[in-house]
Chains A and B, each alone.
Chain A
Amino acid sequence: MSTRHVLLGLLAAGPSHGYDLKRRHDEQFPQARPLAYGQVYTTLQRLVRDGLAEVEGTDSEGGPERTLYRSTDAGAHELTRWAGEVMPPAPFVTNEIFAKVVVSILASGDPAAYLTAQRAAHMARMRELTAVKTAPGTDLATALSADYALNHLDADLRWMTTTAARLTTLTAEVDSA
């Protein structure tokens, strides 16, 4: 994920300081790894260097002095460009699940047993995500994040189901040959 664009997006709501940006990032992307403070400040300095953000001033209300940052026009422009940019529809075949099945077939292993166990693990995770998503009072960011994970796990599962069926057909063909 592009941290600089996510920070630009958070700054679009108005000037903010590093601590606040980190907190809002972690709230909006609960499934992502929490941002390190060091990364937030390094990214903010690069945004300033590239003219996409600037220092608004300092805010010392109720605590230590903090530098407030705001987005520039160039920053807003860059954010719009990035948000509308189409991602390459990459074939996600570098996934380790895919690799394990292929290697297992090559090595005459038991891919069907692996697929059954992997399905159980996927389903367990999907049950957790569904419970989170449908709990009363779930906020939008959490629901969106759970939906995203659920749909990707579901895509894995559909591929695993098709693969298990293909393996059965293949075995039947080999046995009858």
Chain B
Amino acid sequence: MSTPLLTGRRLFKAHGSTPALRGASVELHPGEILAVTGASGSGKSTLLHCLAGIVRPDEGTVEYAGERLDEASEARLGELRRTEFGVVFQFGQLIPELTAVDNVALPLLLAGTPRQAARERAIAWLERFGVRGQEALRPGEMSGGQAQRVSLARALVTGPKVVFADEPTGALDSLSGEQVMTALTHTAREAATAVLLITHDAQVAAYADREVTLRDGVLAAEAAEVAR
């Protein structure tokens, strides 16, 4: 197998006195779609936050393309999140005052793309996710499925190497969820974008190439090793 693009090694992270990660290790390969499953409170979201450089682990290392994220400056992490990483959450977290097209164009504008070029690319991505014609709508005027597809367009518009998706269909009905997952996985496979997909839903995990399961802050396979 290829060299991993993103590696978390023996990650520990506590929220106050509650441990969320207790030595979890995970590898994401270039272009791979990896599902991280597990019960509520098993540490799935915390793992994503550590790997995406949103929070720093208490212990352990995170390495992205040879660079240590757990030691990187906030400025560098911010830059990576704007250029190399895309993030999608359960609730799109679109900016409510901005239209769909402005929401999608925002990461490009932050990266210095001229306004007109950013708008054109944003519109092309909205079209790709089947939400062309909605570009003037604000998030409150869209259905949940439409808003989530706009969020996907925003996450992918910069051509990231990794997309982090935390329960991206958690708030959607099954057919809207299917549209979102099909759009995400087909686009990621075409562009060879790696996806770290957090879900508790096996039918969503089935869109991935591989599954790892977290249990009490470690991978289930690691938990089995420790128990031996």
**Minimal beta-carbon separation of B162 from chain A (angstroms):** 21
Answer whether residue B39 sits at the interface, using C-beta atoms and an 8 A cutoff: yes
Answer whether residue A129 sits at the interface, using C-beta atoms and an 8 A cutoff: yes
A129 & B182 in contact (Cβ 8 Å cutoff): no
Interface residues on chain B, number (Cβ under 8 Å): 16
Given the complex, which residues of B lie within 8 Å of A150, measured CB to CB? 203, 206
Q: Which residue of A lies closest to B38 (CB)?
A: A161
- A interface: dominant SS: helix
Interface residues on chain A, number (Cβ under 8 Å): 17
B27-85 contacts to A, CB under 8 A, are: 39
A154 & B203 in contact (Cβ 8 Å cutoff): yes
A150 to B175, CA, bound (A): 13
Answer whether residue B196 sits at the interface, using C-beta atoms and an 8 A cutoff: no
- Please, what's the 1-or-0 string for A137-177, where 1 marks a CB less than 8 Å from any CB in chain B? 00000000000001101100110010001000000000000
A165 & B39 in contact (Cβ 8 Å cutoff): yes
B202 & A130 in contact (Cβ 8 Å cutoff): no
B206 & A129 in contact (Cβ 8 Å cutoff): yes
Answer whether residue B207 sits at the interface, using C-beta atoms and an 8 A cutoff: yes
B185-227 contacts to A, CB under 8 A, are: 185-186, 202-203, 205-209, 211, 220, 224
Can you name 21 A-B residue pairings with CB atoms under 8 Å?
A: A116-B224, A122-B202, A123-B202, A123-B205, A123-B206, A123-B211, A126-B202, A126-B206, A127-B208, A127-B209, A130-B203, A130-B206, A133-B178, A134-B181, A134-B185, A150-B203, A150-B206, A151-B203, A154-B202, A161-B39, A165-B39
